Amino acid sequence: MTVIYITFYIGLKNIIYKYIEIYMPWVTQLKNEVDFMREKLIEQKLVKAVKAMGGINPKFVSPGLSGMPDRIVLLPDGKVGFVEVKAPGKKPRALQVVRHEKLRRLGFKVFILDEAEQIGEVLYAIQTT
């Protein structure tokens, strides 16, 4: 009986999401804007934390290679890491996962940052490599 309720709930939820997507696109747009602002806030905190450690972390733009991480973190003593910043709970796209794995196979540290509380942990991992 529980399985029937769960299946019904999932089906109903999908119908509601589809309805919103088709007939109320402004809701989806608003959600995307909120996610963007949350991601931007995390990114700003990362920039401040790196600067406080005496490093820099330029925005990484690679026109010929999509899916690369958002930021390169350059810390004193030649410590380097790549950071993909996401809104809380968001995951990297498939192409980003492929690029991150390629960088890891080349020996680079790559991190997904979706909460401001993770910044210290990420920077510590980069600093101690």
What residue segments make up the domains of the chain, in order of their start? Answer: 2-127
pLDDT class of 114 with cuts at 50, 70, 90: very high
Q: What is the CATH number of domain 2-127?
A: 3.40.1350.10
Residue 16 has pLDDT above 80, yes or no: no
Residue 81's contacts (CB-CB under 8 Å, 6 or more residues apart) are 72, 73, 75, 108, 109, 110, 111, 122, 125, 126, 129
What's the average model confidence in pLDDT over 90-114? 95
Residue 53 has pLDDT above 60, yes or no: yes
What's the average model confidence in pLDDT over 83-105? 94
pTM: 0.72
What's the average model confidence in pLDDT over 16-35? 60
